[in-house]
Every structure is written in structure tokens, then in C-alpha cells.
Amino acid sequence: EAQVTQNPRYLITVTGKKLTVTCSQNMNHEYMSWYRQDPGLGLRQIYYSMNVEVTDKGDVPEGYKVSRKEKRNFPLILESPSPNQTSLYFCASSPRTGLNSPLHFGNGTRLTVT
């Protein structure tokens, strides 16, 4: 089944403890992206990647890191999480960079930082 898989689905951690949220897609998509979703603010892009070893900042990159060493994987790293990073995170992928290419989303990771 074609899908974007994120892990874990739920994560509770403490301030400053490094964590990684994994994202993997099995559709051979070139484009991958991370979003956070907060009530009243909608989806905001954190980082995106046009292809292997090519990453760029989105609208809210502060406090996050990403890497794209393989086409299928795009992990999101929080080196020193803070409570304002408590949010619902989504990974998404798309087959090409055409303007009407649909984004395929994972089912989200709910992160709580205390």
C-alpha cells in the first residue's frame, strides 16, 4: 500500500531532551516536507526537501533540523525541544514539483514537551 509512515504517533518528552520523528514513504517521491499544525494557525511548513541531499527552510524552521540521505526517509530532529514545540506534526510527500501535484500526508505525530 502506498503510504507515508510517521513514527511515533504520540510522544511526550521533557524540555531539552533530543528527539527524532521518523518519516518514510514508499512511493519513490522526490519531494518531502514537514508541517506543524496548531489550532487556529493551520498547517505551517517547517522544512522541505526537493530531492536527496537537498533541503530548505520553510516558514517556521527555528528549533528543528532535517536530513535527506535517502529518497524514502526524511527525519525531523529536535535537538533541544521546548514547550512551544508542542504540536501536531505531519510529514508529506509528492511525486514531482508540478504545481498541481497532490501532497500525500502521514497520519501525524502528536508531540508534547513539558
Find the shortest distance in angstroms from Cβ 50 to other proteins: 7
Which one of 60, 76, 78, 92 is in contact with other proteins (CB under 8 A)? Answer: 92
Contact predicate 68/75, CB 8 Å: no
Q: Which stretch binds other proteins (CB under 8 A): 19-27, 64-72, 74-82, 90-98?
A: 90-98
Nearest-angstrom CA–CA distance, 85 and 94? 25
DSSP 8-state symbol, 60: -
Least distance (Å) between residue 70 CB and other proteins: 20
CA 69, distance to chain mean position in Å, is 15
| Contact call for residue 31 and other proteins (CB under 8 A) | yes
State which of residues 78, 94, 111, 113 lies at the interface with other proteins (CB under 8 A).
94
Distance from C-alpha of 46 to C-alpha of 36, rounded to nearest angstrom? 7
Measured in residues, the chain has a length of 114
Cell 526524511: give the residue.
Answer: 74
Span 40-79, contacts to other proteins by CB under 8 A: 40-45, 48, 50
SS3 88: strand
Binding site for other proteins (CB under 8 A): 4, 31, 33, 39-45, 48, 50, 90, 92, 94, 97, 99-100, 102-108
